[in-house]
Amino acid sequence: MLMMDLPLIEPRGDSAAQRQSDARRLRGAALSACAFLALLWWIHLFQHFFGEFPALALYPRSLAGSIGILTAPLLHGSFEHLVSNSLPLLLLITLSLLVVPRAAKRGFVLIWLLSGLLVWLFARDSGHIGASGIDHGLMFFLFVIGIARRDRPAVAAALIAFFMYGGMVLSILPNDPQISWEYHLGGALAGTLSALLWRRLDPAPARKHYDWEDDDQDAAAGSDDPLEPARPDDVPVLWQRPQAPTGQILPFPKRPPPRNE
């Protein structure tokens, strides 16, 4: 049986229930982001006290270094490196899981694996570590999925992500030899691909209904209420108002032609 991802519409509930649902989703998204950051900090503290793990870094085109496709995002070279990745991860993971949770979960896995694979295939011969590829992947994921979906939450998340971390667009190009721009570029490509693949996976948010829409529907169906004002389309324009005849026209007999005497 063929399965398709359809852009369904979420059922609209009452405002109180909707607010509670949004609050639960926000708490879950923030807790997930904090749990991932806690894992990164715990691993780095373990490295700090017990030594580095160079064997777990990603080494391009090396069979032994291919383990880094899975492990390199968990390692960081210094506390400064980890701090620079922590705040973007906290915000971008939270936004992704809040706005498009289904697509975000699949996109996170694809960004992790595909960015590492691209680095392993095409990057410089050096050890690559850090979660900056995931940072860039999530920023591009949110930006592209906001453009593709065009619903208010996705567009708002795209604007926030780009306003906060739009500078990542420049860091996908070679700049500092100590920075793995290949990981940044791989994450950006993987995030863009994820957004295009699963842009319709999450249902569209319920559309807000306004009172004036009911008035338009009632008017279209026809209303017999004598107190209801006429629709603007039914009011004639002054310069196009048909003029009713006024007064009385008196006929005048024709004068006879003058006689020649």
Would you say residue 194 has pLDDT above 90?
yes
Give the number of other CB atoms < 10 A from CB of residue 36: 18
Q: Per-domain residue ranges for the chain?
A: 23-197
Q: pLDDT tens digit string along 29-86? A: 999 999 999 999 999 999 999 988 889 999 999 999 999 999 999 999 999 999 999 9
φ, ψ dihedrals at 189, nearest 5°:
-65, -40
Q: Which residue has the tokens 């453009």?
A: 147
Cβ-based neighbours of 9, under 8 Å, separated by 6 or more: 203, 204, 205, 206, 207
- Tell me which architecture the domain covering 23-197 has in CATH: Up-down Bundle (1.20)
Q: pLDDT tens digit string along 135-187? A: 999 999 999 999 999 999 999 999 999 999 999 999 999 988 889 999 999 99
Distance CA 145, CA 90 (A): 19
Torsion of CA 218, 220, 225, 231, to 10 degrees: 110
Residue-level pLDDT at 21? 86
Residue-level pLDDT at 41? 97
The amino acid at residue 132 is S
Sequence-ordered alpha helix ranges (H) in 128-227: 132-149, 152-165, 181-197, 211-221
Residue 204: pLDDT band by 50, 70, 90 thresholds? confident
For 128, the token pair is: 């690559």
Q: Which residue has the tokens 């971390």?
A: 165
